Each structure stands twice: as C-alpha cells, then as structure tokens.
Chains A and B, each alone.
Chain A
Amino acid sequence: QVQLVQSGAEVKTPGSSVRVSCKASGGTFGTYGVTWVRQAPGQGLEWMGGFTPPLTTPTYAQKLQGRLTVITDESTATAYMELSGLRSEDTAVYYCACGLMYYFEYWGQGTLVAVSS
C-alpha cells in the first residue's frame, strides 16, 4: 500500500514560483511513476504531467510547458512539482498521484496553492 504525503499550503504572489513535495512510503516512484493533477476552486480535475513508467523523462501538458517541472528523488522517495510564472488562474489544489498501468490508484492529500497580489 503506497502512501503519499504532500507539503503544506502555499500563498504566492503573481510571477513567483512554487514547489510542492510529495513523499512516498510503501512503494517507489520508479515502479509507480508520479503524476500531478490540479483542481481549481469548484472546477474539475486537470492532468498536469509527470513520470509514467517505463518512460524515464517527464511528460507535461502543453499549456504548462516551460513553466512546469516534475522531478523525483529516489534517495528520499520524494517527488517535487515546481510551477513558475504563477498567475491567479494557477490557484488550485495540487495533487500528486501514482499507480500502475497509467491509472492513479494512490493520491496525496492535496496542497492548496493560492496566487494573489
């Protein structure tokens, strides 16, 4: 059973960057991969990108290309999502998720990122 624990809420100003962490226990990102999904207030789920085995390089949603970076540190079993050039429309709950066969069986608890001047 994989458990994912995310870092706490963040308040950021427009143009800044945010880094959210996701620590895994009971499994490795090398096996399950890691994907980031966000949900704006009152809205649906948006796939952002991540690592999906057997691929070893991340894949990102085109709309976030150039602003999104997903990395994993297997030594600490932690994945990181960094989003730069923050805008008000990036205000959302950000989830890390992982699983086998491209389906997201395990989810973190979510991290609220609020972007406001």
Chain B
Amino acid sequence: DIQMTQSPSSVSASVGDRITVTCQASQDIGRWLAWYQQKPGKAPKLVIYAASNLQGGVPSRFSGSGSGTDFTLTISSLQPEDFATYYCQQANTFPFTFGPGTNVDIK
C-alpha cells in the first residue's frame, strides 16, 4: 500500500494567516492527489483534486501544488470557517489511502 504522511500534524494560526500543509507519498503517484476538509461531526468535503484543481464552490484562497511524491495545500488568508482538519488522499493505486490529517486550529 502507498503510505501518505502529512506535516505538520497540527498548526495553530490566526485569521488572515497564510498556512501550508504538506503531504508526502511513499511512491510516485503522479498528480493523483486530493485534499479534503473535515469539521467535527461532519463528512469530509473535497477541496482540491488532481493535486491543484480547485473543487467547485471552494474559495480561491485555497490552492494545491505538487506532483510525484510531494504535495502542498496552501490557504492564503485563513478565515474563521477554515479551521478544520485537512486530509490528503492518493487516487493513483488501490487502496486509495489517506494521510493522517492536519488539524488547523485557532491560535
């Protein structure tokens, strides 16, 4: 199975801050990577697909980049509704593994 790692595991930030979350795959996955946002008690929400494509309805302050084994999710100016846990997921090879998550909370 492809292992996905994320860093940091947790980040404290303020409204307006720029944050970057990284995701690393244990082998080359091309650009087959998605990012999901999950709030407590809610289902995950697709934010970015194919490494850098913004899902419809997602604000442009979210962006994704990377290919191969290294990927990033950037939120350019954190808003109150962005405080959540973010997961990466590889869609290159079954099983479609998720990263362990990065919790973004309020400083």
Contact = CB atoms under 8 A, between A and B. Distances in A.
Interface of A: 35, 37, 44-47, 49, 59, 61-62, 95, 97, 99, 101-105, 107-110
A59 B89 CA distance: 17
B87 A44 contact: yes
A107 B96 contact: no
Contacts of A102: 32, 91, 96
A108 B91 contact: no
Given A45-B87, A107-B45, 16 more contacts: A35-B96, A37-B44, A45-B44, A45-B98, A46-B98, A47-B97, A47-B98, A59-B94, A102-B32, A103-B46, A103-B49, A103-B89, A104-B34, A104-B36, A105-B46, A109-B43
A47 B32 contact: no
Contacts of B84: none
Contact of B34 (A35, A95, A103): A103
Contacts of A35: 96
28 contacts: A37-B44, A44-B98, A44-B101, A45-B36, A45-B89, A46-B98, A47-B96, A47-B97, A49-B95, A59-B94, A61-B95, A62-B1, A62-B95, A101-B49, A101-B50, A101-B91, A102-B91, A102-B96, A103-B46, A104-B36, A104-B44, A104-B46, A105-B46, A105-B49, A105-B55, A108-B43, A109-B43, A110-B43
